[in-house]
Amino acid sequence: MADVYELFRNGTRLLEDGDHHAAVIPLRRARDLDPGKDSIREALGRALFGAHRYREAAEEFRAIVDHAPTDDYALFCLGRSLQLLGRHDEARQPLTLAACLRPERADYRRYRDQARRRAEAA
């Protein structure tokens, strides 16, 4: 497990430095070695999102939500990834759940409302 931890640390360091593309490599390797670890999947999802790889990011955040359905951040990131793929109707549910779990988060409410408007306009 030391290898997984080192991969995770290297990936999060690259992510913190804003090098999303490079962060994907060690984080994906860490995920492959320990696929049940939500913290690794979240970091990988964030790296993929930052690299504009929204389909893959959505897959990582969906895996977290499947495992932890009340993780508001994973729900929010899943919804945002779906929005950026143009799947506004599908984005509504995770964004609504995130906003319900954390009603004080104005950004959650803003993107929820945006997804609703765009889904209804389609």
Residue 122: pLDDT band (50, 70, 90) is confident
Q: What is the mean pLDDT of residues 50-59?
A: 98
- What is the reported pTM? 0.96
Q: What digits encode the pLDDT tens for the residues 75-118?
A: 999 999 999 999 999 999 999 999 999 999 999 999 999 999 99
Using the 3D structure, point to which of 12, 27, 52 is the last residue of a domain. Answer: 52
Structure tokens at 121: 């306009």
Instruction: For residue 14, give its domain range.
Output: 1-52
Using the 3D structure, point to which of 17, 34, 52 is the last residue of a domain. Answer: 52
Domain co-membership, 63 together with 21: no
DSSP single-letter state for residue 24: H
Question: What are the angstrom distances between the C-alpha of 53 and each of 60, 84, 113?
Answer: 11, 10, 23
Question: What CATH number does the domain containing 66 carry?
Answer: 1.25.40.10
User: Considering its fold, how many domains does the chain have in total?
Assistant: 2
How far is the C-alpha of 55 from the C-alpha of 5, rounded, in Å? 26
Domain co-membership, 62 together with 117: yes
Domain co-membership, 60 together with 47: no
Residue with the two structure tokens 């984005």: 91
DSSP single-letter state for residue 35: T
DSSP single-letter state for residue 37: -
